[in-house]
Amino acid sequence: MPGTVLVGSQWGDEGKGKITDLISGDYDYVVRFQGGNNAGHTVITPKHKLALHLIPSGVIYEHITPVIGNGCVIDPKVLLEEMDILEGEGISCERLTISGNAHIIMPYHKDLDGASEKRLGKNLIGTTKRGIGPAYQDKSSRMGLRMQDMLDPHIFREKLEAALPEKNDILEKIYGLPGYTVDQICEEYLPYAERLKPFIAETTVILDNALRAGKNVLFEGAQGTLLDIDFGTYPFVTSSNCSAGGAATGSGVGMKYINRVLGIVKAYITRVGSGPFPTEIPPEEPEGDLLTQIGGEYGVTTGRKRRCGWYDAVIVDYAARVNGLTDLAITKLDVLSSLDSIKVCTAYDCDGTIYHTVPQHQTAFHHAKPIYTEMPGWHVDITGCRSFYELPREAKDYIDFIEDLAGVPVSIIAVGPSREQTIMRHW
Ligand code: GDP
Ligand code: IMO
Ligand code: MG
């Protein structure tokens, strides 16, 4: 088992939190390797209902060490609030370990995120406005502050003194927004640093030692493959590598330890924010609203209504390839139970050319018209099913069809939000 990557294989919100929680019992470490508090992962247990943004979903298990890897960007205020919420629920954050190389989201990153979206007008990305893009921008341009800079207030101040003049120029001269003083930011951030210091560690050594000792590590992806900065629907993407490759670069764990890549997909598909979405159900068709309502499709982080669409096998085929998926977990099958018939997109017609995989050129993708196979619904409550054989024939056919199209086995089927509402197939 040693290393398993769990990766969103659509546009995020596939149910990664639920599946991470479900399988965490088999692992010793759960690692977030990219993204920040743009993520919202729901975990429902008999005792808790949690919305986790930064802390790995395995935190609720006492045997697990949760790790925030170097590939993440961290808003310290949000992290501390999340730790306080968990502690308030009786969940200890004592074992949390944070890479010193993870970048810090600064106040100006959040301002710049909002200002840049405003300036884009109708072309906006629809970001979560959590400062994610600007923080990764600073990482790439080598202007970022990292968690290790929190270990020494002098260094923190020095790095900020170097970075801030440019940021203030951009805020004030380009966006007409107020800038910051070094003192102002230090006053807010140094107390956060004091609290977070004990959790900052050389996570690559910790994970390497663990793996050498035969421990198991689960890498919990955030966002989804189609939001990946390289493989997603650029520019309508997030700013990190949320596909499986990011697990190695975002944690410092060698590829040789990763032998399973579990792709998480919904039994339909959703997207929050702007960008192309071939199988989006148009407003005049009632199934879109039905999925929103029955599926509770509102963002965990921003509360925005998610756009809903039919299962897109072209996208999952693509995700299977770029992630090297070994198997799939399908969530929210129960949400389809009230539909008379269910569509699955098997190919795109892009201005007369038929594509069975995501077209390389974005113009073609923007013009993609889905080619559907329509399947009968089942009209039976399946939330109590615990084995594949208990599912109605139409639901089994649906899963088999998806499996065939993806070319990888479906190992987990979720039929409700709670832990036990799950069918373990080939686990
Ligand atoms: P994540 O970001 O991938 O972790 O997913 P989110 O937590 O943002 O969104 C998934 C939503 O679906 C959450 O509200 C989950 O509680 C819920 N959920 C997960 N699996 C199932 C399922 O099989 N059935 C139903 N009805 N809800 C589910
Ligand atoms: P989880 O981990 C769904 C989307 C935003 C926007 C784009 C860029 O819960 O699946 P950003 O703030 O990252 O710069 O926004 O990415 N987005 C998500 N959509 N689930 C998420 O996370 C997302 N994180 C970012 O809506 O379209
Ligand atoms: Mg989410």
The encoded tokens of residue 411 equal 């190992």
Cα–Cα–Cα angle for 391, 8, 85, nearest 5°? Answer: 100
Decide: 35 in ligand 1 pocket, CB within 6 A. no
- In the sheet with 258-266, reading across from the earlier edge strand, the strands are 200-201, 97-99, 65-68, 29-32, 217-220, 3-8, 258-266, 327-331, 410-414, 422-424
CA distance 176 to 190: 27
Tell the burial category of 364 from Cβ atoms under 10 Å away from its Cβ (0-12, 13-18, 19+).
Answer: middle
Q: Which amino acid is at 130?
A: R
The encoded tokens of residue 55 equal 């802390």
Beta carbons within 10 angstroms of residue 313's beta carbon:
24
- How remote is the C-alpha of 154 from its chain's centroid? 34
Q: Left if phi > 0, otherwise alpha if psi is -120 to 50, otherwise beta: which for 272? A: beta
Distances (CA, A) of 398 to 267, 343, 344: 9, 10, 9
Phi, psi of 375 (to 5 degrees): -125, 150
Closest Cα to residue 3, out of 35, 22, 31, 36?
31
Where are the extended beta strands (E) located within 228-318? 258-266, 269-271, 307-309, 311-312
Residues flanking ion ligand 3, Cβ below 5 Å: 13, 40, 300
CA distance 39 to 54: 7
Which ligand has the nearest atom to the CA of 38? 2
Decide: 335 in ligand 1 pocket, CB within 6 A. yes
How far is the centre of ligand 1, averaged over its atoms, from the C-alpha of 370 (Å)? Answer: 25
Closest Cα to residue 32, out of 61, 11, 5?
5
CA distance 299 to 41: 10
Beta-ladder partners of 308? 270
Beta-ladder partners of 217? 3, 29
CA distance 400 to 407: 10
**pLDDT < 50 stretches in the chain:** none
How far is the centre of ligand 3, averaged over its atoms, from the C-alpha of 9 (Å)? Answer: 13
Q: What pTM value is reported for the model? A: 0.97
The encoded tokens of residue 419 equal 């832990």
CB 180 within 8 A of CB 163: no
The encoded tokens of residue 278 equal 């071939």
Instruction: Dump pLDDT digits (tens) for 125-173.
Output: 999 999 999 999 999 999 999 999 999 999 999 999 999 999 999 999 9
Decide: 220 in ligand 1 pocket, CB within 6 A. no
Using CB distances shorter than 6 Å, the residues near ligand 2 are 8, 12-13, 38-41, 125-128, 130, 132-133, 222-224, 227, 238-239, 272-273, 300
How far is the centre of ligand 2, averaged over its atoms, from the C-alpha of 12 (Å)? Answer: 7
pLDDT value of residue 427: 63
Atom of ligand 1 nearest to the CA of 333: 23
CA distance 267 to 313: 10
Query: What domains sit in the chain, N to C, each tagged with a CATH number?
Result: 3-101+199-261 (3.40.440.10), 103-196 (1.10.300.10), 266-424 (3.90.170.10)
SS3 content of the chain, % helix, strand, coil (to 5): 40, 20, 40
pLDDT value of residue 139: 98
Active site residue 75: no
Decide: 416 in ligand 1 pocket, CB within 6 A. yes
pLDDT value of residue 185: 98
Q: Which of 6, 18, 30, 57 has the most ligand 1 atoms within 8 A of CB, as the residue to mutate?
A: 18
Active site residue 426: no
CB 236 within 8 A of CB 275: yes
Catalytic residue among 13, 228, 312, 317: 13
DSSP state of 102: S
Closest Cα to residue 170, out of 129, 121, 120, 113?
113
Which ligand has the nearest atom to the CA of 35? 2
* Sign of the alpha-carbon dihedral angle for 285, 288, 294, 298: negative
Catalytic residue among 21, 28, 41, 334: 41
DSSP state of 275: S
